């Protein structure tokens, strides 16, 4: 998508601090971290939100979660734990309309999600 910030990051038109990349997935540090470790994991292809995933994306989504597991390990937060968040749509607080998963860790998080 032409005016999508995350598509621009995928294309290298906007710089990012990458932590992982393969042919399908990109992970980079959130520009405005809310926890000591705050990484965004995205599919390279433009999917607007969780509402827009299709059966054909099943493998990609599985791969995203295996990647999240690997990144958590590499970032040294796997053992103590972390939170994975997806904001979907207006009520979900989604600001960037390109599917992404937040990995939040490096500190003890609150027990309440909202
Ligand atoms: P959302 O609220 O849509 O779930 O999260 C969007 C996230 O993207 C926010 O945490 C925000 O800080 C991050 N973000 C927005 N623009 C950029 C950018 O240009 N680069 C990076 N690295 N993160 C961004
Ligand atoms: Zn996009």
pLDDT at 2 over 90: no
Print the domain residue range for 70.
5-105
- Judge whether 48 lies within some domain: yes
- Give pLDDT tens digits for 16-27: 999 999 999 999
Q: Residue 8 CA: which ligand is closest? A: 2
Model confidence over 53-93: pLDDT tens digits?
A: 999 999 999 999 999 999 999 999 999 999 999 999 999 99
Say whether pLDDT at 12 is over 90: yes
In a domain, 14, yes or no: yes
Residue 114 binned pLDDT confidence (cut-offs 50, 70, 90): confident
| Sequential DSSP letters for 46-95 | ----GGG--GGGHHHHHHHHHHHHHHHHHTT-TTT-EEEE---HHHHT--
In a domain? residue 114? no
Report CA torsion sign: 110, 104, 100, 76: negative
User: What's 32's domain CATH number?
Assistant: 3.30.428.10
Is 49 touching ligand 1 by the criterion CB < 6 Å?
Answer: no
Average pLDDT rounded to a whole number, residues 36-53 = 98
pLDDT at 1: 83
Average pLDDT for the chain: 97
Asked whether residue 113 is domain-assigned, the answer is: no
Please tell me the distance between residue 97's alpha carbon and the centre of ligand 2 in angstroms: 7
Torsion angle of C-alpha atoms 7, 25, 29, 108, degrees rounded to 10: 130
Total number of domains in the chain: 1
pLDDT above 90 for 13: yes
Give the atom of ligand 1 at the shortest distance from the alpha carbon of 38. 10
């Amino acid at each position: 998508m032409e005016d999508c910030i995350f598509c621009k990051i995928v294309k290298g038109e906007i710089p990012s601090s990458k932590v992982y990349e393969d042919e399908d997935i990109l992970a980079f540090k959130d520009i405005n971290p809310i926890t000591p470790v705050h990484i965004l994991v995205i599919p390279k292809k433009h999917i607007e939100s969780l509402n827009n995933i299709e059966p054909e994306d099943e493998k990609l989504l599985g791969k995203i979660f295996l990647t999240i597991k690997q990144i958590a390990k590499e970032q040294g937060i796997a053992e103590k734990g972390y939170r994975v968040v997806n904001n979907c749509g207006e009520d979900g607080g989604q600001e960037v309309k390109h599917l992404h998963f937040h990995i939040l860790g490096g500190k003890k998080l609150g027990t309440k999600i909202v």
